[in-house]
Amino acid sequence: MKQADKIRIFAREKYVVPARGQHEKRFCIRTGDVVRDMKLVGGRTPAVCSALKTKEFLRENALRLISRTGPESGQSTTVTYTYEFVDTPSDRGPDRQDAWNRLRGALKDVFAEYGGGEAYLRAERASFRDASDRK
């Protein structure tokens, strides 16, 4: 997966989905926040700036870029993009990705009781082997 795709997915999950869920009309994304939260190093700020203003990002999330604030170069951690939703969730129909995101982590508490997912799988494998040894 390309870096730009990872940035767009992160921005969608961290900013777009929550803003849409709270029925906000507009919201902002600060480039520096994305760089920090994704722990991007090595001059990745221009990549973040580019990914957040692509037609692909806007189209996939039904957004319109309202404004960009920051230095003239547009390539800084201080650049802030302000977006507006161009439709309502009911206009878009069911969103399979949103449904998947709601399900993510649904069994987190169940696995925590077993000491995590790996511990649960180890226990299941051990009990499976024990059952086959008894035969």
Structural domain contains residue 100: no
Say if residue 73 is in the same domain as residue 124: no
Say if residue 82 is in the same domain as residue 46: yes
In 3D space, the residue among 67, 83, 80, 79 whose CA is nearest the CA of residue 20 turns out to be: 83
Backbone angles phi, psi at 33, to 5 degrees: -65, -40
Say if residue 66 is in the same domain as residue 129: no
State the average pLDDT for the chain. 85
Say if residue 85 is in the same domain as residue 125: no
Structural domain contains residue 61: yes
Q: 75: burial class by Cβ within 10 Å (0-12, 13-18, 19+)?
A: middle
Cβ atoms within 10 Å of 89's Cβ, excluding its own:
14
Structural domain contains residue 32: yes
The percentage of residues in the chain with a pLDDT greater than 90, rounded to a whole number, is: 53
For the segment 18-33, what is each residue's pLDDT rounded down to a tens digit? 999 999 999 999 999 9
* pLDDT higher than threshold 80 for residue 130: no
Q: Structural domain of residue 32, as residue ranges?
A: 3-94
Residues in CB range of 115: below 8 A, 6 or more apart: none
More confident position, 119 or 98: 119
